[in-house]
């Protein structure tokens, strides 16, 4: 009977997606990565002290993070490494194949299309698009670059939820609007422009120049910290 | 006399670098970008309400951010766009040429080496290195790929403070240690490994797979938010 009550409470503790802070979400892939390392080393069980120690956060911070999704540890036992890894995978929705498309077959789009690291996490690049007729039809890593007009067809056929935007700033809002219209829910934006999107669309900005500026801030005025 | 006191107080208000939160630092390039847009439009003066409105933060948040660096606005006048832009550029240390090197001439290293967006902010790629003898000597965007043994010489000669690490996970800590030893103060790390570095070295992590995981979390279980 006690167990049932506990499970019920755990469920109750689980927070609604929109209440989880971006900082906690950003830590989830890190937990996942460290748990993967532990699995590779053959570790079956880990205490919150051990795991948080490797991750250089406090054990209390870690418990607080994981409690937002309903816990997963047992008092005195700690965490089952494989189970926690799989649970975090489920929370991140990477426990399945996620098809994505790339818009823009320029330098950066090509780079993403040939990056192999995504496959390990179930990400699959279904197609790459470009508006330049000279680029359309060329081959990138086994994918034929498609014209923008084909976007809708591919999104519907391959059940695409994610698009990476590797296009110039001037085009990005218009293309984002079109993608949203045809059902894309997640935009990975590499053009340094803040997109206007409806509430049910998620944007992840990866602005390389801005990362470099933050680094430059950190190294200080004379290149010294 | 009043002005002198005010200037003095402003200085006193300025926070030490290590006390500024990462969230505030991450907003600085965004302020810079929006001010750049305003300059391009010919806007000379902006109120905190207007600027924060465009940036979709509160005016109070914005004033609080800028006060950490000593203010820059005038009651009733707002901000001089060009001056604020230049001041933020100085805070970010991008008001000068920043030389950087790229370690790893694989897919991603090549992509960074051919990316033109950095030049607008005074970033200059001085050299690119690889450990593969078959890659050394090849040309990427006008740069000849150098062997790792040349790293020290180039860092000293070109006064390099920043290195972008585009190498496999297994090599990244060892290469980071070497770079730190020869005087590099800022590491832009693309290998999904948390680096151990001394306190006077800054690391900026750009982990593409983890950004994609956060996006996948956002789109939800059925690809719906």
pLDDT digits (tens, 9 = 90+) for A54-67: 988 998 998 889 88
Residue A127 near residue A146 (C-beta atoms within 8 A): yes
pLDDT at A18 over 50: yes
pLDDT at B224 over 70: no
pLDDT digits (tens, 9 = 90+) for B119-169: 889 899 999 999 999 999 999 999 999 999 999 999 999 999 999 999 999
Q: How far apart are the CA of B78 and the nearest CA of chain A, in angstroms?
A: 23
CA-CA distance, A133 to B72, in Å (whole number)?
48
CA-CA distance, B211 to A26, in Å (whole number)?
8
Q: Higher pLDDT residue, A173 or A79?
A: A173
Q: How far apart are the CA of A16 and the nearest CA of chain B, in angstroms?
A: 12
A28·B217 Cβ contact <8 A: yes
pLDDT at B29 over 50: yes
Among B15-29, B74-88, B159-173, the range of highest mean pLDDT: B159-173
A159·B56 Cβ contact <8 A: no
Q: pLDDT grade, residue B16 (50/70/90)?
A: low
In chain B, residues under CATH classification 3.40.50.720 are 98-211
pLDDT at A7 over 90: no
Query: Could you tell me which residues come within 8 angstroms of residue A162 by beta carbon, excluding any fewer than 6 positions away?
Result: A98, A99, A100, A101, A184, A185, A186, A187, A188, B212, B215, B216, B219
CA-CA distance, B139 to B136, in Å (whole number)?
9
Q: pLDDT grade, residue A53 (50/70/90)?
A: very high
The pTM (predicted TM-score) of the whole model is 0.88
| CATH class entry, domain A98-211 | alpha beta
Q: What is the CATH number of domain A2-91?
A: 1.10.10.10
Of A2-11, A81-90, B73-82, B142-151, minimum mean pLDDT range: A2-11
Residue B151 near residue B179 (C-beta atoms within 8 A): yes
Of A70-74, A90-94, B165-169, minimum mean pLDDT range: A70-74
The sign of the dihedral angle between the CA atoms of A19, A211, B193, A223 is negative
Nearest CB to B192; choose among A33, A161, A187? A33
Nearest CB to B188; choose among A33, A112, A211? A211
B121·A201 Cβ contact <8 A: no
Chain B residue numbers with beta carbons less than 8 Å from the beta carbon of A223 are: 159, 161, 185
Chain B residue numbers with beta carbons less than 8 Å from the beta carbon of A221 are: 93
Chain A residue numbers with beta carbons less than 8 Å from the beta carbon of B162 are: 212, 215-216, 219
> What is the average pLDDT score of chain B?
88
pLDDT digits (tens, 9 = 90+) for A136-158: 999 999 999 999 999 999 999 99
Of A105-109, A195-199, A221-225, B45-49, minimum mean pLDDT range: A221-225
Q: pLDDT grade, residue A222 (50/70/90)?
A: low
Beta strands in B18-155 (DSSP E): 45-46, 79-80, 98-103, 123-130, 139-140, 143-144, 146-147
B185·A221 Cβ contact <8 A: no
Give the nearest chain B residue to A98 (CA atoms): B216
User: Quick one: three-class SS letters along chain A?
Assistant: CHHHHHHHHHHHHCCCHHHCCHHHHHHHHHHHHHHHHHHHCCCCEECHHHHHHHHCCCHHHHHHHHHCCCCCCECCCEEEHHHHHHHHHHHCCCCCCEEEEEECCCHHHHHHHCCCCCHHHCEEEEEEEECCCCCCCCEECCEECEEHHHHHHHHHHCCCCEEEECCCHHHHHHHHHHHHHCCCCEEEECCCCCCCCCCCCEEEECCHHHHHHHHHHHHCCCCCC
Q: State the pLDDT at residue A67.
A: 86
Nearest CB to B204; choose among A17, A194, A215? A215
Q: How would you classify the pairing of strands A123-130 and A98-103?
A: parallel
Both tokens assigned to A134: 């000279």
pLDDT at B10 over 50: no
> What is the average pLDDT score of chain A?
88
Chain A residue numbers with beta carbons less than 8 Å from the beta carbon of B111 are: 107-108, 110-111
CA-CA distance, A11 to B71, in Å (whole number)?
47
Q: State the pLDDT at residue B67.
A: 86
In chain B, residues under CATH classification 1.10.10.10 are 2-91
CA-CA distance, A129 to A136, in Å (whole number)?
7
B29·A210 Cβ contact <8 A: yes
Note the ipTM here: 0.88
């Amino acid at each position: 009977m006690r167990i049932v009550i506990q499970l019920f409470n755990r469920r109750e503790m689980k927070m609604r997606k929109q209440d989880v802070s971006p900082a906690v979400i950003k830590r989830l892939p890190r937990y996942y990565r460290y748990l993967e390392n532990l699995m590779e080393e053959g570790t079956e069980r880990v205490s919150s002290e051990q795991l948080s120690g490797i991750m250089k956060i406090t054990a209390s911070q870690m418990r607080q993070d994981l409690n937002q999704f309903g816990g997963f540890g047992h008092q005195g036992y700690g965490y089952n490494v494989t189970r926690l890894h799989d649970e975090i995978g489920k929370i991140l929705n990477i426990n399945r194949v996620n098809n994505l498309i790339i818009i823009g077959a320029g330098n950066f789009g090509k780079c993403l299309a040939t990056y192999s690291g995504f496959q390990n996490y179930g990400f699959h690049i279904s197609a790459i698009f470009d508006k330049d007729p000279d680029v359309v039809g060329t081959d990138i890593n086994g994918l034929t670059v498609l014209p923008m007009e084909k976007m809708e067809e591919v999104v519907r056929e391959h059940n695409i939820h994610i698009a990476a935007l590797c296009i110039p700033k001037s085009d990005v809002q218009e293309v984002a609007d079109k993608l949203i219209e045809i059902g894309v829910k997640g935009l990975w934006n590499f053009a340094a422009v803040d997109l206007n999107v409806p509430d049910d669309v998620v944007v992840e900005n990866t602005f390389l120049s801005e990362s470099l500026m933050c680094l430059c801030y950190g190294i200080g005025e004379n290149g010294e910290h």
